Amino acid sequence: MFHWLEKNPFFFTVVLFVVIAFAGLVEILPNFAESSRPIVGKKPYTMLELAGRNVYIKDNCMSCHSQLIRPFKSETDRYGSYSLSGEYAYDRPFLWSSKRTGPDLHRVGNYRSTDWHENHMKDPQAIVAGSIMPKYPWHFTNSADIATAFDEAVTVMKVFGVPYNKEGNPTVPATFSEAKAEMIAEAKEIAKDMKDPGVKAALENGDIKEIVALIAYLNSLK
């Protein structure tokens, strides 16, 4: 029976492939349609929030922070109501993470504010004694990559039908220069609550620093 296969590597490989692929077919495929539907009222990320999300990915915040509140009392008490599948419908990629060295951030927008984040990102130990989170001074000097964020918004809108420009939802204009103007307007709203003079001055010159985009993203996590 199987022993014959070791003398016939071609069939060996075919059988092996079937055995390996089987789990994927049964497990992965049939559930795709169902779990990707957004919950009612869920809005896509604005372009600025996407830029912030990319900062989050670039500096790999998910190596220490989860975004998945499990259905236990101890977790809902600490972080808020547990996470639902439909809340992640616009998350490409998902950012659940596999390690919680720092607290879960799935609803951090509910209980932390712009100015808190500003101080905390600059120097976590100054805000929370004993914190082991790194300082992120370069978020205050590096510019956010808003061009890529614009590309990304256009892509998800065109390819995956993310409902931008629909009633009440964030907008994605046709050209980058319009998009940039929108992002700067949104950034200015956030910068009102911030103190760092360098960040504010840059914004006046049309340059959005990473920290502003990141805070826009963190505030959107609710």
Partner 1 sequence: METIREIQGYAYFGMTVVFVIALYGYIVYLYKGKKRGMDYEKYSNLALHDDLNDQILEARNDEEKDSSK
Partner 2 sequence: MQQSTAVSYDYTVARWFTYTTIAFGIIGMLVGVIIALQLAFPALNGIAGEYSSFGRLRPLHTNGIIYGFTLSGIWASWYYISQRVLKVSLNEYPFLKLISKLHFAVYFVIMLLAVVTLWMGISTSKEYIQLEWPIDILVVVAWVLWGISIFGAIGVRREKTIYISLWYFIATFLAIAMLYIFNNLAVPTAFVSEGVGAWYHSVSLYAGTNDALVQWWFGHNAVAFIFTSGIIALIYYFLPKESGQPVFSYKLSLYSFWSLMFVYLWAGGHHLIYSTVPDWMQTFGSVFSVVLILPSWGTAINMLLTMKGQWQQIAENPIIKLMILASTFYMFSTLEGPIQAIKSVNALAHFTDWIVGHVHDGVLGWVAFMIMAALYHMAPRLFKREIYSKKLVDIQFWIQTVGIVLYFTSMWIAGITQGLMWRATDQFGNLAYSFIDTVNALHPYYAIRGLGGLLYLIGFFIFSYNMYKTMTVGKELTEEPANKTPMSA
Task: Quote the CA–CA distance of 134 and 120 in Å, as a whole number.
Answer: 10
Give the one entry of partner 2, partner 1, ligand HEC, none that residue 90 binds, where binding means its C-beta sits below a cut-off of 5 to 8 angstroms depending on kind.
partner 2
- CB-nearer residue toward partner 2: 23 or 205: 23
Q: Which amino acid is at 177?
A: S
List interacting residues with partner 1 (CB under 8 A).
1-3, 6, 22, 26, 30, 33-34
- CB-nearer residue toward ligand HEC: 21 or 128: 128
To the nearest whole angstrom, how small is the minimum distance from the Cβ of residue 51 to partner 1? Answer: 36
List interacting residues with ligand HEC (CB under 6 A).
56, 59, 61, 63-65, 101-103, 105, 108, 112, 117, 124, 128, 131-134, 136, 214, 218
Give the one entry of partner 2, ligand HEC, partner 1, none that residue 11 binds, where binding means its C-beta sits below a cut-off of 5 to 8 angstroms depending on kind.
none
Q: Where are the alpha helices (DSSP H) in 108-173?
A: 114-122, 124-127, 146-160
Q: How many CB atoms lie within 10 A of CB 204?
A: 10
CB 77 within 8 A of CB 65: no
To the nearest whole angstrom, how small is the minimum distance from the Cβ of residue 153 to ligand HEC? Answer: 21
Question: Which DSSP helix (H) or strand (E) runs through 52?
Answer: helix 47-58
Q: Where are the alpha helices (DSSP H) in 114-209?
A: 114-122, 124-127, 146-160, 176-191, 197-204
